[in-house]
Amino acid sequence: MTTPESPEALTEPVSEDALDQLFRKARTHSFWLAKPVDDGTLRRLYELMKWGPTSANGCPARILFLRTPEAKQRLVPALVPANVEKVLAAPVTAIVGFDVRFYDRLPKLFPQAPGFKDMFEKSPELADATARRNSSLQGAYLILAARALGLDCGPMSGFDNAKVDQEFFGPGKETAPSDPELFPWTRVRSNFLCSIGHADRSRLRPRNPRLDFEEACALL
């Protein structure tokens, strides 16, 4: 049995069907079937996405899965009108955020470079740019992990970050039961949203085009 650390786990490309599921036939969805996504599946999703690379293995992303009607209603005031029904109808909407002091966990996550924590602590600009960039990467890993598990995704902007941060991560807000020393939610800032579930594919529009290789790439 291979593990994430086993080199032999990476020797063969995935099947064409898998590539279709992850990329070529996958779509961004706005309409959802009334089919729940259980907590165990969300845990499996995270256990997949966490292996994606981040700078200095910093893993800055923090994800709040909104599963209940009450939780999603708290998000509504921060949404642009066009996104309200997308969120309310989805079984789950994830707030993909980042820990502004992600570097406090570097002694555990990147022990081979003990000076990195101090480097980020002394440079707030570098820490902020690193957290935002790498939480975006981890959000993309979340989308691919969800697709790999047979789920559909609807990533979105179109919301007020400050309102989301105040409502879910502000002082005194009840976000989730956890040890504040292990997972201090007040240090989280929102990046983007992603609805997760089983899409109503009968309401898909024709797919928009993408750029060709020659329009987006160069070989040097």
- The Cα 51–Cα 90 span in angstroms is 26
Torsion of CA 29, 45, 163, 59, to 10 degrees: -130
Please write the tens of the pLDDT for every residue from 124-133.
999 999 999 9
Please write the tens of the pLDDT for every residue from 86-124.
999 999 999 999 999 999 999 999 999 999 999 999 999
Please write the tens of the pLDDT for every residue from 160-188.
999 999 999 988 765 665 566 667 889 99
Q: What's the CATH class of domain 29-99+134-195?
A: alpha beta
Mean pLDDT of the chain: 93
Residue 205 predicted with pLDDT over 50: yes
- The Cα 63–Cα 94 span in angstroms is 6
Residue 184 has a pLDDT of 83
